[in-house]
Amino acid sequence: MIKIETTDGPIRSSPTDNSSQGSSSTDSGTRTRSDFERLPLFAQKATRRAQQVSQPVTGPLGKAWRWIQGPADARRYRMEKGFLGKIQFYPIAVRNRLLPGRRPKILALLAYYILWMSLFVHILRQAYTVRSVGRFGTPTTLSCTSRLWGDGLTCGINGETCRPFENNTWLFRCPAGCLDTMVLNPYTIGDQEINYRSLVVGGATADEEAFNYRADSFICGAAIHAGVITDGSGGLGLISMIGEKTSYPDTTSNGISSVGFNGSFPSTFTFDRDPVLADYQDGYDDPQWRLLGVSVTFTAILSLFTTSAPVFFASVFCAGFFQVGLASNPPEAIDFNTLVSIAFSRFLPAAFMMAIMYRISIKKSLIGLEAQIEKTVLWIGGFWVGSLAHYTTEKIPIQRLTPHDLNQQPGAIAALVIIIIVLVAIVLLQAWNFRLEGRLPRYLALYITLGVTILLLLAIPGLNLRIHHYILALLLLPGTAMQTRPSLLFQGFLVGLFIDGAARWGYASILETSAALRGDAQLGSLLPAIATPLVNGSNITFTWDRPTRGYDGVSVYVNDVERFRGFQDDNMDSFSWTRHVEGLPEYFRFAFIAFGKIQGVAVADYTKAGIWHPDGSWTQMAAGASRA
């Protein structure tokens, strides 16, 4: 009989003992020469090629490849009794004893869904039902960044479009969690520039009872600072516009340090502490913590008593998505109906993406998992930590993973280095476990492909790569496709992180323009060259050269309020100002402006503030730009 051997030359024949092999030679996969020669020529060539490729690769690369392929006795990890032994199975035993058979289990699950949804919707509707608050009417729902005075040219010359400045009182409602809301780009107040802190300007001194705030302050942050609401529950407040004030002290109260301003500003607000509001406060506190308690309890109980991986994952994902999208970290919306509409518009794409992740990654961790207590602690625990990332990671000094933000935020680079070290350690742990399972080559191929794709995206001109919450989770989830305790924890956290990004912010592109990334930061544009002003008693006059090509005029800010726009076609190349309040400094900033292509006016960067002191002296603007 002829046996095919792997050689570099032609096929050789070797005699064999027919009596010892008999017909079993065909079953063992050997072919006679006549069998082989009867194959088509392309099949013969393919057979030879396969035999040559199947020879072990020698040398360092061959050893490295065999190590990557894993041990010969590679096996899949399976969590069985775990650390807690038979206690892990106790919830399933109780379930089977109380609900024997498939039909009772399905009916019980449906009843459980109905109970959870009824309780969740009841709390939500009770909190968002619009009710009249005595003589004050219905409250206006605010976000943590709501303000009365906008950025840039929003309020127009002298703030006319941001009126009324006084004699106006109205009721508002703030969500919980506004204590740590901060500006993410430099913001100018007089000659100060703040960043990564709460935008609250003013307060009350020790000998004052009223808390007065500049109108460009965060309303909810100011309400926390004044003690009108709490950060933990939000609530109702009554705001009163009191017009121009000439001093705004810097004070620290209730965890917020306000910014001081020693000049005048045309619009100021304070809070009326009417005792009638106390009777309504309980009905208007933020429901997110009560709803979180309901959702965590629901998912934990479901995890303990469910062994079906699809039921477990789909139920927990839906509960987490609507908890975040409607309560824990909802997007800004003008009313409850709009909020629900936004949540459902983002839910369907999120469910589609997670269905794909379930098939390629998540089910490998959950199918066959009966360590109920460990699953609940690790997967559900990690899931809620990730879903509440806006709280659980708020102390990490990284707001956005962009070069601009990393360079300007104190501590961001150090924090990023620590995060990278932790991620590398996790990647090495997961890679080792994949090797022991014999699956490392395919995951190396996957992540090499993803890495090359990211490099190609980086090379696209005119666009910037930005890894959002949901994208980071999608990139890392395939690396958790095994049934180990670390994988359960990592996987739950990443699914939660995906929800926190998708439900709150939607699906921003992985490639963004520089303008989109910049937001309200400085543009890096040209600045007007302002000559030393002429001071004559209570008057000061500024002059400048005609605008550079591409600009049509100059805008002037006085005490952070736009007071003048001079256009080149009107030959307006100077600005005079009369001191507004004696005894106080006044701050001047200048910027080029340009007409839009169709309509409107665009403003470039402003200069730093020049100071006209009370004694009439002048301090010229420092080098550098600022934003309105």
- Which domains are delineated in the chain? 134-279 (2.170.130.20), 288-516 (no CATH), 534-626 (2.60.40.10)
Contacts of 408 (CB under 8 A, 6+ apart): 186, 195
What the block records as the tokens of 114 is 């109905």
pLDDT band at 404 (very low <50, low <70, confident <90, very high): confident
Around 100, how many Cα atoms within 13 Å sit in the side-chain half-sphere?
1
Instruction: Identify the residue with better confidence: 238 or 35.
Output: 238
pTM for the whole thing? 0.83
Mean pLDDT score, 503-529: 88
pLDDT band at 256 (very low <50, low <70, confident <90, very high): very high
Bridge partners of residue 567, in order along the sequence: 553
Task: Show the 3-state SS of 480-542.
Answer: HCCCCHHHHHHHHHHHHHHHHHHHHHCCCCCEECHHHHHCCCCCCCCCCCECCCEEECCEEEE
Give the per-residue pLDDT at 269. Answer: 96
Closest CA to 167 of 278, 260, 273, 272: 272
Is a pLDDT exceeding 60 seen at residue 5?
A: no
Give the per-residue pLDDT at 569. Answer: 75
Give the per-residue pLDDT at 23. Answer: 38
Mean pLDDT score, 173-188: 92
Give the per-residue pLDDT at 28. Answer: 38
Give the per-residue pLDDT at 59. Answer: 77
Mean pLDDT score, 459-487: 93
pLDDT band at 40 (very low <50, low <70, confident <90, very high): low
Mean pLDDT score, 219-237: 94
Mean pLDDT score, 215-232: 95
Give the per-residue pLDDT at 333. Answer: 83
Give the per-residue pLDDT at 206. Answer: 65
What the block records as the tokens of 349 is 């794409």
Give the per-residue pLDDT at 554. Answer: 93
Give the per-residue pLDDT at 3. Answer: 33
Give the per-residue pLDDT at 35. Answer: 56
Give the per-residue pLDDT at 485. Answer: 94
Specify the DSSP class assigned to residue 284.
G
Instruction: Identify the residue with better confidence: 582 or 24.
Output: 582
For residue range 558-611, what is the model confidence (pLDDT) as tens digits?
999 999 998 887 778 899 999 989 999 999 999 999 987 766 788 999 999 999
Mean pLDDT score, 255-272: 95
pLDDT band at 21 (very low <50, low <70, confident <90, very high): very low
What the block records as the tokens of 418 is 């620590």
Distance between start and end Cα atoms, the chain:
91
Give the per-residue pLDDT at 203. Answer: 93
Phi (first) and psi of residue 540, to 5 degrees: -140, 140
Q: Are strands 140-141 and 166-174 parallel, antiparallel or unpaired?
A: parallel
